[in-house]
Structure 1
Amino acid sequence: MFKKTWIFTIVALCTLAFSFPEQSSAHANVYTVQKGDSLYKIAMKYGAPLKQVMAMNNKDTAMIYPGEQVKIPVHASASEQDLLSRLVEAEAKGESYAGKVAVATVVLNRVESDRFPDSIKGVIYDGKQFSPVLNGSINQSASHESKRAVKEALAYQGYDNESLFFYNPDKAQSEYLRNKEVTTVIGNHYFLR
Structure 2
Amino acid sequence: MARPSQSARWLMHLILSAVVAWSLLAPGTAVWAMSDKTLMKGSRGEDVYELQDRLKFLGLYRGAVDGVFGWNTYWSVRSFQSGHGFSATGQVDDRTRRALLEATKAYKPRHHSSTHVAGGMGKFSANDIKLMANAVYGEARGEPLIGQVAVAAVILNRLDDPRFPKSIPAIIFQPGAFTAVSDGQIWLTPKPEARKAVMDAIQGWDPTDGAVYYFNPATATSKWIWSRPQIKKIGKHIFCR
Please state how far the C-alpha of 1:189 moved relative to its aligned partner.
Answer: 0.4
Please state how far the C-alpha of 1:75 moved relative to its aligned partner.
Answer: 2.8
C-alpha distance in 1, partners of 2:168/2:129?
Answer: 9
Query: Which among 108, 114, 127 is matched to residue 156 of structure 2?
Result: 108
Deviations 1:121-161 (A, max 9, x none): 11001111111111111011111111110000111257751
Unpaired stretches in structure 1, ≥5 consecutive residues: 1-37, 63-72
Q: Which structure carries more strand by proportion? A: 1
Higher-Rg structure is 2
User: Any conservation in 2 of the 1:117–1:123 contact (CA below 8 Å)?
Assistant: yes
Paired letter, 1:166: Y
Tell me if 1:84 matches 2:84. Answer: no
Give the count of matched residue pairs: 143
User: Any conservation in 1 of the 2:211–2:231 contact (CA below 8 Å)?
Assistant: yes
Tell me if 1:156 matches 2:204. Answer: yes
Q: What corresponds to 1:31 in structure 2?
A: none
Kindly tell me: are residues 167 and 74 of structure 1, through their superposed partners in 2, closer, same or farther at Cα, counting changes over 3 Å? Answer: farther
Secondary structure, in 3 states, of the residue corresponding to 2:189? Answer: coil
Secondary structure, in 3 states, of the residue corresponding to 2:197? Answer: helix
Tell me if 1:184 matches 2:241. Answer: no
Query: Which among 183, 202, 205 is matched to residue 135 of structure 1?
Result: 183
Kindly tell me: are residues 74 and 123 of structure 1, through their superposed partners in 2, closer, same or farther at Cα, counting changes over 3 Å? Answer: farther
Deviations 1:42-75 (A, max 9, x none): 944x77779949x9xxxx999xxxxxxxxxx973
Paired letter, 2:157: N
The TM-score with structure 1 as length reference comes to 0.63
Query: Which among 121, 134, 137 is matched to residue 169 of structure 2?
Result: 121
Paired letter, 1:178: W
Paired letter, 1:103: V
Kindly tell me: are residues 158 and 104 of structure 1, through their superposed partners in 2, closer, same or farther at Cα, counting changes over 3 Å? Answer: closer
C-alpha distance in 2, partners of 1:90/1:51?
Answer: 24
Unpaired stretches in structure 2, ≥5 consecutive residues: 1-53, 58-62, 81-102, 105-120
Q: What corresponds to 2:141 in structure 1?
A: 93
User: Any conservation in 2 of the 1:107–1:164 contact (CA below 8 Å)?
Assistant: yes
% identity of equivalent residues: 30
Kindly tell me: are residues 134 and 92 of structure 1, through their superposed partners in 2, closer, same or farther at Cα, counting changes over 3 Å? Answer: same
What is the root-mean-square deviation of aligned Cα atoms in Å? 3.3
